[in-house]
A and B are shown apart, each in its own frame.
Chain A
Amino acid sequence: MEKLVIFLGMALATYFTRYTMIAALGREMSPLLRRWLRYVPPAVLAALVAPAALAPQGRLEIDTHAWAVLAGAVVAWRTRSVLWTIVGGLAAFWLLRLLRI
């Protein structure tokens, strides 16, 4: 029962972060704000990729992860496809593992 209360509290906290801005930024939005918001996706996506590639354990290391993401970046650039980027990056990872690089 106590667990359920904590789950519900966590769900509420999560929902608060997901809903407030969607609800708050209503019909009237200044052009400056809109132009700023357009740069949020590339910033956030890059921020999700870079640490996972270069510091998977929280410290800088150029290893299999980094090379696999680099290979994925080339595939992404050529194909712009999520599926092929994942396939290409993972193939590079497994190949490098196999060759023990």
Chain B
Amino acid sequence: MKGFWRGLLATLPLAPGVVAFGLLYGVMARQVGFSPWEAWAMSLIVHAGSAQFTALGMWQASSAIPIILATLVINLRHMLLGASVAPYLRGLSPPWKALLALWMSDESYALAIAEYERGVGSHYYFLGANVGVYLAWPTSGLLGALLGAAIPDPGRYGLDLVFPLGFLGLLTAFLKDRTGVAVAILAGGLALLGTFLLPGKWAIVVAGLVGSGLGLLLDEVQKAWKNS
């Protein structure tokens, strides 16, 4: 249970990022004709930032099926995240797994997996991180929808940097050996290239798959080298 509070508190440095994008989401939701309560409901029910922004962008020109399919495609990266955290959750009961999957965000996943990598992770910490982000996202969305157009662009104050900077801090947990460093550099480069060539969040899926695959390959090569 102590882990829960640690996980919850660990989301605090990321809160300015969540709130900045939550406010922006609320403003955009009003612009496509949502009431503040509808904007709030979407965040409470869906809880997936990038997918919600995309849905708002599609709202007036699209119907239910394309919006739901777009949500599926944008969130495919979560399958990769889920797979990588799965080894740490193997001993848990099915209800725990179902609960942890419910509010898993990029941010809470990153916090939890870095903690697991350092050997101090727990499912309570993971849950606390999930809940921390879940508390901030719908609340700031509602606030943005109520306040309206008075919200400035997060990029002006560098608040769009909060998540990448946070991910950078967590990345250090995985750079213990040369293979880890090589994987990060390769995946970073691939993701950059991917953003120019691929739509939506495909760059992250491709860079995540190819980067980690190359890590395994480098591992095997090193092993073969030592044994020869």
Contacts and interface: CB of A to CB of B under 8 A. Distances in A.
B71 A14 contact: yes
B10 interface: yes
Size bracket of the B interface: 35 or more
A101 interface: no
Contact of A34 (B79, B87, B104, B192): B87
A22 interface: yes
Interface in A63-101: 64-65, 68-69, 72-73, 75-77, 79-90, 93-94, 97
A44 B204 contact: yes
Contacts of A88: 165
B126 to A, nearest CB: 11
Contact of A97 (B47, B158, B175, B190): B158
Contact of A82 (B98, B101, B166, B180): B166
B212 A39 contact: yes
Most buried by A among B38, B79, B111: B79
Interface string B159-203: 011111111111111110001100111111111101110000001
A89 B161 contact: yes
A69 B167 CA distance: 11
A14 B106 contact: no
Interface string B62-97: 001001110110011111111111110110001001
B13 A51 contact: no
Contacts of B47: 11, 14
A14 B46 contact: yes
B51 interface: yes
A40 B80 contact: yes
Contacts of B24: none
Contacts of B102: 15, 18-19
Contacts of A19: 82, 97-98, 101-102
Contacts of B212: 36-37, 39-40, 42-43
A11 B82 CA distance: 16
A45 B165 CA distance: 10
A47 B72 contact: no
Contacts of B172: 76-77, 80
A43 B161 contact: no
B43 to A, nearest CB: 9
A90 B80 CA distance: 29
A17 B75 contact: yes
22 contacts: A3-B41, A8-B45, A11-B46, A14-B46, A14-B72, A22-B101, A26-B90, A29-B86, A39-B180, A41-B110, A41-B113, A41-B174, A46-B207, A47-B188, A47-B208, A49-B171, A65-B161, A68-B165, A69-B161, A73-B168, A85-B169, A89-B158
Given A13-B51, A89-B158, 16 more contacts: A3-B41, A11-B47, A14-B78, A19-B102, A20-B79, A22-B82, A41-B174, A42-B180, A43-B209, A46-B187, A46-B207, A47-B204, A48-B204, A51-B195, A73-B168, A75-B169
